[in-house]
Amino acid sequence: MENENELKELVKQKYAEIALQDKETNQSSCCGSGCCSTEVYNIMSDDYTSLEGYNPDADLGLGCGLPTQFAHIKKGDTVIDLGSGAGNDCFIARAETGEDGKVIGIDFTPAMIEKARDNAKKLGYYNVEFRQGDIEKIPVSSNRADVIVSNCVLNLVPNKNEVFKEIFRVLKPGGHFSISDVVLIGNLPDALRKNAEMYAGCVAGAIEKEAYLGLIEINGFTNITVQKQKRIGLPDDILKNYLNEEELIDFRAGNTGIFSITVYAEKSKTCGCGTDCCN
């Protein structure tokens, strides 16, 4: 990929396809990328089915965590979900925030927005709204959200620093986020990092864990906490699409790890500029 716009177009096209696939197809691949594995089922995503608000029509099996479970959402909160897909995390957030709250889902892909709106209409959720937009330029006014969640999405964005700047802008003073995402420990092999399909499949877009946490810190967030971490084991039949036998052996023998983490952080009530928050 030569530039960020090409990467974005790749992701938009791929997730338009994913919107039309069933959950089983998406879960058996790498975030729905189509690199289907015969070795495992459900490589990255966690089980949502026991959570209040869960709706199977909205679950495409694309997540890598349960950010809403860790998000400390209260009744009446305004919650924003970045990369809302078919609406799964939004509907679970609505169960937490209640009818007096507001949930806004943001997604880059028109097909996902259409699917999510159809699901919300079927469920009669009129305090859940879906907006098409780029999460590097979140289509929401400043100081709007009590809580922001996101599930396996920021790793797909070329300019992650810009996303964290936008999250800071959109959160109210004293607000917080809980984000599940894919990160690396060690260096991913070049063949994986450069491959476009794996980029759309959530792995080659990931960055080092410490660099990821560093972006959160430099954008002004406090109380940064890794709420959950789990290793993601990509099976050989996926890796063989990108690595030869020698590279695969080296990869397995090395210290490189691909992990799902759920990270919590807060926007200070003062933001370092007095009694109110400035942007």
Q: Collapsing DSSP states into helix, strand and coil, what is residue 77?
A: coil
- Residue 20: closest CA among 124, 80, 109: 109
* pTM across the whole model: 0.82
Q: For strands 102-107 and 78-82, give the pairing.
A: parallel
Asked whether residue 252 is assigned to any structural domain, the reply reads yes
Instruction: Check: CB of residue 152 under 8 Å from CB of residue 202.
Output: yes
**Do the domain assignments include residue 16?**
yes
**188 in a domain, yes or no?**
yes
C-alpha 37: how far from chain center = 22
Q: Is residue 253 part of a domain?
A: yes
The answer to whether residues 83 and 130 touch, using CB atoms and an 8 Å cutoff, is: no
Residue 273 lies in a domain: no
Alpha-carbon gap, residue 59 to 73, rounded angstroms: 20
Would you say residue 279 lies in a domain? Answer: no
Full domain range(s) for residue 117: 4-266
* Residues of the chain falling short of pLDDT 70: 1-46, 59-62, 194-204, 271-279
| CATH number, position 259 | 3.40.50.150
Residue 56: the pLDDT is 72
Q: Is residue 49 part of a domain?
A: yes
Answer whether residue 198 is part of any domain.
yes
pLDDT at 275: 44
Which residues pair with residue 184 across a beta bridge?
208, 258
Contact 231, 205 (CB under 8 A): no
Q: Residues 6 or more apart from 67 whose CB is under 8 A from it?
A: 89, 149, 150, 151, 178, 179, 180, 262
**How many domains would you assign to the chain?**
1
78-96 pLDDT, tens per residue?
999 999 988 999 999 999 9
Are 72 and 57 within 8 A, CB to CB?
no
Q: What is the pLDDT of residue 41?
A: 37
CA distance 180 to 262: 4
Q: Are 253 and 158 in contact (CB under 8 A)?
A: no
